[in-house]
Structure formats: structure tokens, C-alpha cells
Amino acid sequence: MSAEIRRKRLTAPDIRARKGATPVVAVTAYNAVMARLVDPHVEIILVGDSLAMVEHGMVSTLGVSLELMIAHGRAVVAGAPTALVVVDLPFGSYEAGPAEAFRTAARVMAETGCGAVKLEGGAHMAETIAFLAERGIPVMAHVGLTPQAMNALGGFRTQGHDEEGRAAILADAQAVSDAGAFAVVLEGIVEPLAVEITAAIAAPTIGIGAAAACDGQILVLEDLLGLTERPPRFVKRYADLGAAVEKAVGDYAEEVRSRAFPGPEHVYKPRG
């Protein structure tokens, strides 16, 4: 559904109502330019803490600050008039308890204008999710491979390969759904488990490295556009913009050095 047809901005209840219906399309975006380009084609734009790595060259998501998330979130909301904009709560800004999470989430929503927040964690975050939802803050949950817990998980490793791991992730997904999450991101888990979770929980599932059976899919925009060097296995490149950017800048550099640019059509002539 295009933004022209949609006209009205989507909300968390709109997404929750998509359970079992036409799959939800979601991508990340970190600035107004990209948000404007993707807005007509997607239901959700996630201002992910992945911006730490994609935009700022950090080695993980752990170093991103709340102020940085707010700055990028504000820009995306400005560029996207109809998609639901969801902003990640950064590591260390919500884990201490429901009250801290509420203060952080309320600030993010007030200062960005976004429609929801996302936080990582399963059953141990259920109380926090319920606390936020009861106070008017829509929450997208995130289970499975949770990048903020990469040190505890031993790195970026696919989850759910053994029976104990599968049971734990299923329990996590059920807990956050029951707590009131309007959607649940399933990242980096084996396909049969993603199918099982999608059938078992009331909240829509949004897959990334999960299964086509999920209620929606999300990818990092730069990955699908071909702007990153080594995307994960689960990424499909829909363009090769990295090569196109390199060629464009190379052509520009060549014309500058040869004085072919600027040409007569690019300079201003005196009047009269």
C-alpha cells in the first residue's frame, strides 16, 4: 500500500491487527532522506541501534547513546509521513527496571514523535513491557539473537539449534507477546522455530534471519541496497548501490581534475 493511498500514519494497533494477514514490510532508516524514499513502500521504519555500526563505524550496537538515537529518530519521523516509526532503546537505558524504561521511552517518544519503541529481551523483560504498555507506550519486542547481548551470547550466532535453546526462545516470545508487545522481532533463529513461534503467539512476528512464515520481514536498508561489504547470510541484495556510488564519485573526481566540471551550464553569468 503506497503512502499516497494510505495518507494516515500507521499505528501500533494497525500493525498488531496484521497478524496472519498480508505480511508487514519493515526496514531500518537513520535519516530523513532515506525515510522519505522508503516510506511509500513499508509499514514500519525502525530507527535501529544498528546505526552505531552502519552510520558511525562502531564495532557493535553497545556504544550508541540515547541522544544519538533521539537525533536520528527525529530525522526519520520528519522524513516519513505515513509509516509507523519505531525507535530502539539503546543498551543501558532501560534494563534496570520498568521505571527507568518508562523514563527513557517517554523521552524518546516526546523528543522524536515516533509511534513506538523497541527493546531487546524475553521473559525477563515482560514486566517492563507490560509496565510501558499500560502507560501508553507501544513496545516492539526482540528475541532470539539479540545484538545488545552479543557478549553473553558469544557473538552473533544463530539461536535455537538445541531443544533447550528452542524452548527458551519460544517461552521468551510467548512472554513478551502476553505482556502486551504489539509485535515481536525474531532474529537469527532456525526456521522451524520461527514457524512454531509465529503460530503460537498472538503478536505478529517480524523476521530477520528467521522464516518466510513470519507475519512480516525486516532488513537493514544499507544491506538490501548493497551498501555494506559483508552482509549476513539472511540478506538478499536488491541493488548494488555501493558500486554505483563509487562510480559516480569517481566520475566526478575525474571531471574536477580535468576541469570538465563545472561546465558552462553550472556557472552563473553576469546580468546585462
Residue found by looking up cell 523521552 in the block: 107
Q: Give dist(CA 22, CA 96) in Å, integer.
A: 37
As separate numbers, helices (DSSP H) first and strands (DSSP E) second, the chain gives 12, 8
Closest CA to 232 of 147, 118, 117: 147
Q: Yes or no: say if 165 and 159 are a contact pair by the CB < 8 Å rule.
A: yes
Alpha-carbon Rg of the chain, whole angstroms?
Answer: 20
Element (H, E) at 46: strand 44-47
Q: Yes or no: say if 86 and 45 are a contact pair by the CB < 8 Å rule.
A: yes
Q: Which entry of 55, 95, 163, 187 is annotated as an active-site residue?
A: 187
Q: Yes or no: say if 23 and 215 are a contact pair by the CB < 8 Å rule.
A: yes
Would you call 55 a catalytic residue per the annotation?
Answer: no
Q: Yes or no: say if 30 and 36 are a contact pair by the CB < 8 Å rule.
A: no
Residues with a catalytic annotation lie at 187
